[in-house]
Amino acid sequence: MEIKSIGIVGAGQMGNGIAHVCALAGYDVLMTDITQEALDSALALIRSNLERQASRGKIEEDEVSAALDRIRCTLKLSDLGQTDLVIEAATERETVKQAIFEDLLPHLKPETILTSNTSSISITRLASRTDRPEKFMGFHFMNPVPVMQLVELIRGIATDEATFKACLQVVERLNKSAATAEDFPAFIVNRILMPMINEAIYTLYEGVGNVKSIDTSMKLGANHPMGPLELADFIGLDTCLAIMNVLHDGLADTKYRPCPLLTKYVEAGWLGRKTRRGFYDYRGEGDPVPTR
């Protein structure tokens, strides 16, 4: 089937980025969240990001208003039932995602494709709780969505070829590149990236180096654009911990054991940039200050 309209569940960091790129590519977008404040904030951020792209010559001025005109918002999850493709981009908790799909199912068109932007949770397990496992996929965008070129497409055990091809066409229309991943814990990117970040936290925990020396070493010694602790703050330490727990539980290997220091930061509510404290303190006016 041809995808013309896309429903997005969640207007947060990932959801508003997905809405941005889909609208810019010409799709009609319907975005939902649980509060009007969240939707208003998302629209303001999308406008700001589109205008920044226009000011840098990445897109034309008239594309800004055209993209914004394609985005509608609703507080009713059921309204998304008439879209051709639903992309769930809610918080990285399986119970939350399952509840969303359960509430959405009675309102869906028979042909609607369901997808999740999950970064680590089993697609097969999520799909099995719906009435259309053959029309269910993982559709994992990277953050920030308007900038990052990769989308992981993850097939569940029941995903059919027509669903995969329809999702692949969407990725191509977004001018992004698709990597096909099998449905194993954390897929490709986070299967490799998160253990590296976790090891950097262990390096800090064991006193091998401080925050600044670890990040500087990886930026200058391995040519990484961001140090692993800086990147962890950008992703969100709660998200990092959730993915490490999925790896540890799903693969039953001690090499995926989350570092106790990561757990401690999450328990403290120091989740990184979004709470203004993580491995760096972002509350000052100057450069972020390492917290260890």
Active site residues: 119, 140, 152, 190
Task: Say how far apart CA 282 and CA 288 lie, in whole Å.
Answer: 5
| Residue 173 to residues 39, 60, 92, 189, Cα–Cα distance (Å) | 25, 17, 26, 22
Cα 113 from Cα 69, distance rounded (Å)? 24
C-beta of residue 51 within 8 angstroms of C-beta of residue 64: yes
Quick check: 201 and 208 in contact, CB under 8 A? no
Alpha-carbon distance values, 16 to 34, 43, 48, 52, 183 (Å): 14, 7, 12, 15, 25
Estimate to the nearest angstrom the gap between the alpha carbon of 274 and the chain centroid. 14
Helices 13-24 and 36-55: angle between axes, nearest 10 degrees: 50
Across-strand partners of 205? Answer: none
**Residue whose token pair is 């429903």:** 7
Strand partners, 277: 272, 281
β-partners of residue 141 are 151
Closest CA to 100 of 111, 84, 118, 185: 118
